[in-house]
Amino acid sequence: MSTIDPRVFYANPPPGKPIYVRFAVPQELAEMTYNVVSMAKQTGVVKRGSNETTKMIERGLAKLVVIAEDVDPPEIVMHLPLLCEEKGVPYIYVPSKERLGKAAGLASYASSVAIVDPGQAAKDLEDLVSKLNDVRVSAGLNPIQIPRAQPQAKPQQREQRERRGREVSEGGQ
């Protein structure tokens, strides 16, 4: 995977937006995002805050990352869009960290949220990412699809160990 130059990546934010914002999100798409986060919180798994979001992206577990535009200082979330691009995780901006926190089930603010398991919001998440990709393409960016679950090697390794254990016990009789 190629490395993205941050100087180019953050070169041209939309007018009136923080430097880490790569494209403007229409209000109806932001509202849809709050609804998807709220539904995923109730029926799936949502991680809140920039540290948890970063971990989920790096581990390949995030299905969608939501970043608030009114975060101060911006350095708290500035790395997230770049990391999402490198890892192939779709991300979207919402105007309010307060509303994002409430949608994620917090009494306080949330600078960012990662949807790990959308639960019953899976179809809505797919629709949201589809509309998001239309916005990305109109902004001159490539679309990013929802990452599919990667089969984990651990059950396979366990199965191989069990098979070897049976061969040894059978061979010793």
Contact 115, 44 (CB under 8 A): yes
Name the pTM for this structure: 0.81
Q: What is the pLDDT of residue 140?
A: 85
User: Which is more confident, 38 or 145?
Assistant: 38
- Write out the DSSP string of 47-108: EESHHHHHHHHHTT--SEEEEES--SSGGGTTHHHHHHHHHT--EEEES-HHHHHHHTT-SS
Q: Which tokens in the block code for residue 50?
A: 């920039």
Q: What does the pLDDT read at residue 148?
A: 75
Every domain of the chain and the residues it spans: 6-148
- Could you give the CA distance from residue 122 to residue 69 in angstroms, rounded to a whole number? 24
Tens-place pLDDT, residues 94-105: 999 999 999 999
- pLDDT surpasses 60 at 150: no
Q: How confident is the model at residue 16 (pLDDT cuts 50, 70, 90)?
A: confident
Q: Is the pLDDT of residue 17 over 90?
A: no
**Looking at residue 11, what is its pLDDT?**
65
Range 68-87 average pLDDT: 93
Question: Quick one: what percent of the chain has pLDDT higher than 70?
Answer: 79
- Superfamily for domain range 6-148: Ribosomal protein L30/S12 (3.30.1330.30)
> In this model, does residue 137 exceed pLDDT 50?
yes
What pLDDT, on a 0 to 100 scale, did the predictor assign at position 151? 45
Residue written as token pair 């254990």:
165
